[in-house]
Amino acid sequence: MLTPNGDGANDVLAINYTLFRLPGPVPVALNIYDLRGIRVRSLDVGMQGAGPQTVHWDGRDADGELLVPGLYLVEVALKSEFKTFRHQQPLGLAY
């Protein structure tokens, strides 16, 4: 649960994931979608190799505005040589 209300508790979300079986670094993006399927934020995290990874998100959209409370989907997308892999998880945002 992300609560970006400025109180110092859960104001930034650490999104942790592990990449497996990669031949080398691949381009990775972290996307945030609302429940209508509209992408509200995309974080280009650059090239990442196999192993544990962490990306931080502050609850803001692409324009830097704080998103409204609700449910969102966090997607980790990576492009390999042959296809794009995507994994989504739900995320709650509250004030």
Taking 90 as the threshold, does the pLDDT of residue 17 lie above it?
A: yes
Say what the pLDDT of residue 68 is. Answer: 96
Phi/psi at 4 (5° precision) = -80, 65
Letter for the amino acid at 55? Answer: V
Which domains are delineated in the chain? 13-93 (2.60.40.4070)
Q: Per residue in 67-79, pLDDT tens?
A: 999 999 999 999 8
Residue 90 to residue 22: CA distance in whole angstroms = 25
Residue 95 to residue 93: CA distance in whole angstroms = 7
> What would the two tokens of residue 5 be?
């209300």
Burial 30-62 (b: 16+ CB within 10 A, else e): bbbbbeeeeebbebebeebeeeebebebebeee
Q: Per residue in 40-85, pLDDT tens?
A: 999 989 999 999 999 999 999 999 999 999 999 999 999 888 889 9
pTM score, two decimals?
Answer: 0.88
